[in-house]
Amino acid sequence: MKRKIVYTIILFFVLFIGGCNSRGISVTTVTGEVTYNGTPVENALISFVPQTPNGRGASGQSESNGAFVLLTQGATQSGAMLGEYKVLVSKVVEIDSSGKEVKRELVENYDPVNPPQQKMYPQKNLLPEKYSKEDSTEFTVTVEKGKNHFKLALKD
């Protein structure tokens, strides 16, 4: 008798806690690394363009060793939705007249009434242009359940 009651109580709590499901977009971890002619690329933008209906795009930015983690709009965790994607890789920087990359400093305490003026520079993609277009990219990947790791080796 006592045992039955204890079991009933446990059952109730299990059922109750089981009802606390979270909603939202379910994603799975997607990591990878970007190399260009064998060397890792820093600050490249990686976009996963969904090829499956109701898919959602994911994107990430690479670290100094070329590694990246994908994020998806609306998901509460890092990752991408399951399905097939085309992968776009680009690294757009501003260049000055000598063709050097312009590094900008972080500006703190921005004054909205008298905003300091920034100079505009032309922009350039440091990676081959074919990797930034959906119809010319060579990378088509499928994100599967579990952990995914993609090595993106870019060549001229």
Partner 1 sequence: MSKYIGGGGYTNWLIHHCLHAISLLFARTIASISARFGKQSFVRRAFTLVELLVVIAIIGILIALLLPAVQAAREAARRMQCSNHLKQYGLAAHNYHDTYQTLPPLAIWGQSGIDRYSWQLALLPFMEQQGILGMIDAGGVAASMDGTTNYPAGMRAETWDINYRPWRTDFSIRHCPSDGNSNQEAAQYFTGTNSYAGNVGDCSSNWSTMTNRALRGAFMRVQSRNFAAFADGTSNTVLFSERTVAVPESGSQTRNAKYALAVCSTTGNGSPDWVMGALDPNDRKRIKSTGGWDGQAWSGRRWNCAEFCYSSFHTVMAPNTVSAILWGNVSANSPVITVSSYHTGGVNLTLTDGSVRFVSDTINTGTTSVSAWHTADSARGTYGESPFGVWGAMGTIASGEARGLE
Binding region for partner 1 (CB under 8 A): 1-2, 5-6, 8-9, 12-13, 16-17, 20, 23-25, 43, 45-47, 49-50, 54, 56-61, 69, 71-74, 78, 88, 90, 92-94, 103-110, 112-113, 115-118, 120, 123, 132-134
Minimum CB separation of residue 86 from partner 1 in Å reads 9
Residue 113 vs 156, nearer CB to partner 1? 113
CB 55 within 8 A of CB 20: no
Minimum CB separation of residue 37 from partner 1 in Å reads 22
Residue 36 vs 55, nearer CB to partner 1? 55
Measure the CA–CA gap between 153 and 156, rounded to whole angstroms: 10
> What count of other Cβ atoms lies within 10 Å of the Cβ of residue 60?
22
Residue 24 vs 38, nearer CB to partner 1? 24
CB 30 within 8 A of CB 148: yes
Minimum CB separation of residue 151 from partner 1 in Å reads 18
Of 149, 152, 146, 150, the residue nearest 82 (C-alpha): 146
Minimum CB separation of residue 123 from partner 1 in Å reads 6
Beta-strand relationship, 71-72 and 58-61: antiparallel
Residue 73 vs 97, nearer CB to partner 1? 73
Minimum CB separation of residue 89 from partner 1 in Å reads 10
Of 141, 23, 151, 22, the residue nearest 82 (C-alpha): 141
Of 113, 112, 94, 114, the residue nearest 104 (C-alpha): 94
